[in-house]
């Protein structure tokens, strides 16, 4: 998400989710969302969104870093501002390490590929009510995140 210059390995992301049982028809590739805050203008790029009808299971972000470090709060702001209903989860990965972020309760679980839920386990999942948020605060957070701050 954001302004990574390295190409996202879409085939590898696809392989992960196909092996977890997700139909390819659920995959939405390279979503681009324009975002402006005050005089700042950005394009939010999400490599993969996995959705079934109105259920958005995942926002998937790829970080080409040797050691996965990230600001989970940025992807939460994106989910809150641009998706309704709120996606169930976000995944941030470098394809070796994974972070599974519950976007409703904002819990983060880190580990290897095993933390990515199987489709058969998520298709009947009912997420809890999302926490309330202030859109203006989310916009500020996202602007700081996207500007590298």
Confidence of residue 3 (pLDDT cuts 50, 70, 90): very low
CA distances from 22 to 17, 71, 76, 81, 99 (A): 6, 27, 23, 26, 18
The set of residues, in sequence order, having a beta carbon less than 8 Å from that of 30 and lying 6+ positions away, is 8, 45, 46, 47
pLDDT on residue 1: 61
Q: What tens digit of pLDDT does each residue of 19-77 get? A: 999 999 999 999 999 999 999 999 999 999 999 999 999 999 998 877 766 567 889 99
pLDDT at 71: 62
Q: What is the pTM of this model?
A: 0.90
Quote the strand ranges of the chain, DSSP E. Answer: 27-37, 40-52, 55-62, 89-93, 98-102, 107-111
């Amino acid at each position: 998400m954001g302004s990574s210059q390295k190409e996202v390995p879409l085939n590898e992301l696809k392989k992960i989710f196909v092996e977890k049982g997700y139909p390819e028809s659920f995959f939405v590739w390279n979503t681009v969302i324009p975002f402006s805050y005050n005089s700042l203008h950005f394009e939010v790029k999400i490599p993969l969104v996995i959705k079934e009808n109105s259920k958005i299971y995942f926002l998937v972000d790829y970080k080409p870093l040797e050691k996965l470090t990230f600001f989970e709060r940025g992807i939460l702001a994106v989910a809150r501002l641009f998706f309704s209903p709120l996606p169930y989860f976000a995944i941030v990965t470098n394809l070796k390490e994974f972070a599974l972020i519950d976007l409703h309760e904002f819990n983060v679980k880190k580990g290897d590929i095993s933390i990515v839920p199987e489709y058969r386990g998520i298709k009947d999942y009912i997420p809890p009510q999302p926490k309330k948020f202030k859109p203006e605060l989310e916009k500020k957070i996202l602007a700081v995140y996207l500007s590298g701050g």
